[in-house]
Amino acid sequence: MILYPAIDLKDGKAVRLLRGDMEKSTVFNTDPAAQAMDFVNAGCDWLHLVDLNGAFEGEPVNAAPVEAILAQSKTPAQLGGGIRDMATIERWLDKGLARVILGTVAVENPALVREASKAFPGQVAVGIDARNGRVATKGWAEETNVMVTDLAKSFEDAGVAAIIYTDINRDGAMQGPNIAATAALAHAVSIPVIASGGVSSLADLIALRDCGADLNGAISGRALYDGAIDLAQALEALNA
């Protein structure tokens, strides 16, 4: 199982939000590229980047720090937040991103997910952010009536590289991930699933790995910044 260290970008800085609330952000590093290199030097195989402002604005806002990370790091990175058209997808992949994450647009314009997955095989993931089993969009500000499993299943034949499933109520709360919901989703689809939200300890990571759902990976942010998880130690444990 891959451990994806998260760098959430707000106003050019690496932050963490509590349950997706932009008003409840904690700045962890004013230099996101330096933060990325800390993770890379600890041995991570991937970086998970989120343009938080972009998710709310509907277009890339934190391009400069993302480009700085890509310039310094050779480790594959995936990015979500404000990516809602083919031109933006193409631009980011040309700049060296390994994978783009489509969230809001996957609900509002699913045809784009199919088109992008076909044009860029293996480089398009779908981000499904949920509150109580229902999908939330636009930086989690809007709740829909779309059920998580229904949305995931609708992309079963689209060639999507992965589904990143975030339980909003757990995100940044350090209360442990929603293992049952994540495992249920992974069992419901053949697309690789990456767990996000609530990972607060090495035990949480081991529990996700061993939940029987063959998860592709798990994303962790706050626990790494707070020191609750030692990245090098966690990578070693997950690969054991």
Instruction: Give catalytic residues, as residue numbers.
Output: 8, 129
In angstroms, rounded to a whole number, what is the distance separating the alpha carbons of residues 5 and 140?
A: 21
Q: Which of 229, 57, 58, 53 is nearest to 219 (CA)?
A: 229
Q: Are 188 and 152 in contact (CB under 8 A)?
A: yes
SS3 182: helix
The packing angle between helices 32-41 and 63-72, to 10°, is: 30
Per the structure block, which two tokens stand in for 97?
Answer: 């991103």
- Residues with Cβ within 8 Å of 47's Cβ and at least 6 positions away in sequence, in order, are 4, 5, 7, 36, 39, 40, 69, 73, 75, 76, 77, 78
